[in-house]
Amino acid sequence: MPELPEVEIVRQSLDKKVKWKKVKKVLVRNRNLRFKIPSKLRSFLEGKKIMKVKRFSKYLILCLSKENFCLIHLGMSGTIHLIKNRGREFKTNTSFYSSPFLPKKHNHVEIIFESFRIIYNDPRRFGFFQIIEDSNTLKKKFSQLGPEPFDVKFNLGYISSFFKGKKKNIKNFLIDQNFVSGIGNIYASEILFLCKINPNKKVYLLKLLDCKKILIYSRKVLINAIKYGGSSIRDFKNVLGKKGKFQKNFKVYDRAGLNCKRNGCSGIIKKKIITNRSTFYCNMCQI
């Protein structure tokens, strides 16, 4: 599943292409995604300009004229493709976890502009589209989610008070969107390695210094991931056809059985399933 850095790269790619462009036509070929595509999506989008593409957590937000919004969540396998209306453009993928070429199947939604179109493809159909009529409804939509790691609300006081007296392990907290928005399985493992914290450690046992490390390294890991274009676990490419490169900087993720990269550590990277998710950590320096 794409995490905050990958969705941010898609946002940047889309914003460059669709900002100030008017939607001419919308085609919905299959409404049956995680949630059924709204029946009025076509009438809601057609004729409106996309003023900007924003993001919150793992959601893409198409900011439309008339102060309307359309949310897109990519789910587990959703990809967005850019196709020129004329000519032959083969590399189309702005997203990840699939071929950079437009697939023949599972192209569920087309949003058509004057000279190009964007196509939403999703084989597993866990993604969704949602219509938001005004900014207050948009704010309410995200009010149940925790702050992003970059938000000033995600601070030392917030983290330490949230953890107080709780017995859930830290790995599960980092991927809990009610605690912090945007961190997923890959980056949780990377953050905890830099913090030198075992992913199974109960949060009520964490010291204030541990909480400070979580604050610092959550931001550092995500900033670096965005800088390197996200993590191409398979074939993620942005709108320019360039792969994300952060996977080359993985310290623990998908490195089970290999030596720890930390200087002076003789540990081995282990893989453990925590709440049905693969978790990677060093058996020596993460205590």
From the candidates 2, 100, 149, 199, which is the catalytic residue?
2
Domains of the chain: 4-142 (3.20.190.10), 156-235+246-282 (1.10.8.50)
First-to-last C-alpha distance (Å) of the chain: 28
> Is 46 a known active-site residue?
no
From the candidates 3, 8, 148, 190, which is the catalytic residue?
3
> Is 277 a known active-site residue?
yes
d(CA 65, CA 131): 13
Mean pLDDT of the chain: 89
- Residue 63, classed as helix, strand or coil, is strand
- Indicate whether 40 pLDDT > 50: yes
| 26: number of Cβ within 10 Å | 16
> Is 2 a known active-site residue?
yes
pLDDT at 221: 94
pLDDT at 248: 65
> Is 31 a known active-site residue?
no
- Indicate whether 202 pLDDT > 90: yes
Percent of the chain with pLDDT over 90: 75
Cβ-contact 70, 18 below 8 angstroms:
no
For residue range 81-125, what is the model confidence (pLDDT) as tens digits?
988 877 665 567 675 555 667 888 999 999 999 999 999 999 999
DSSP string, 5-58: HHHHHHHHHHHHHHTTEEP-EEEES--BSSSBPPTTHHHHHTT-EEEEEEEETT
Q: Which residues contact 75 (CB under 8 A, 6 or more apart)?
A: 1, 33, 34, 122, 124, 125, 126, 127, 128
| Helices 156-163 and 208-227, axial angle in degrees (round to 10) | 120
- Residue 91, classed as helix, strand or coil, is strand
Confidence grade of residue 234 (pLDDT, cut at 50, 70, 90): very low
pLDDT at 13: 87
- Any idea which residue has 């210094």 for tokens? 209
- The dihedral built from the CA positions of residue 122, 128, 133 and 135, taken in this order, carries a sign that is negative
- The mean pLDDT value for 250-265 works out to 94
pLDDT at 104: 86
From the candidates 11, 58, 213, 243, which is the catalytic residue?
58
Higher-confidence position of 32 and 243:
32
- The mean pLDDT value for 185-206 works out to 96
For residue range 157-191, what is the model confidence (pLDDT) as tens digits?
999 999 999 999 999 999 999 999 999 999 999 99
pTM: 0.87
- The dihedral built from the CA positions of residue 130, 135, 140 and 143, taken in this order, carries a sign that is positive
φ/ψ of residue 65, rounded to 5: -60, 160
pLDDT at 88: 61
